[in-house]
Amino acid sequence: MVEQEPAAPAIKSVLICINRRFHGDQPSCAARGSEALADALEAGVRDRNIDVKVERIKCLGQCTKGPSVRFAPGGRFHLGTTDAHIPALLDELEAICGTRDEDPGPPLHLLGS
């Protein structure tokens, strides 16, 4: 009998660290532009209708290598992310997560309150 490797967990979210350290000598994702990256990822997910939740979080524990992005659950880290990486990240998310069917609006978590 051949054992199959367990399937990777389905990616449900893309996590973007927006942590800002207030000590000027300590690196942080926000100080390196992660908030603008989060805006770009949210817009791309909305425009492409990608079936994934975009979450801004306070820390991924990779401050010295940020801006940090991670596909979750269990996905790999994307470290040192820049604007130039956004199209490839969106392509990867679309390939992994697919698109939402005939949904006329953005995901509720992307709507402002």
Is residue 112 in some structural domain? no
Domain count within the chain: 1
Is residue 87 in some structural domain? yes
The structure's pTM equals 0.77
- In sequence order, what DSSP letters do the residues of 52-73 get, joined into one string? -EEEEES--S-GGG-S-EEEET
The CATH number of the domain holding residue 77 is: 3.40.30.10
Number of residues that this document lists for the chain? 113
Q: Pairing between strand 69-72 and 77-78?
A: antiparallel
Is residue 109 in some structural domain? no
Whether the predicted pLDDT of 99 surpasses 80: yes
pLDDT in tens, 10-64: 888 999 999 887 776 788 888 898 999 999 999 999 999 999 999 999 988 888 8
Is residue 49 in some structural domain? yes
Is residue 37 in some structural domain? yes
What per-residue confidence (pLDDT) applies to 63? Answer: 82
Q: Which domain holds residue 45?
A: 13-93
The residues with which 13 forms a beta bridge, in sequence order, are 53, 72
Q: Which residue has the higher pLDDT, 1 or 61?
A: 61
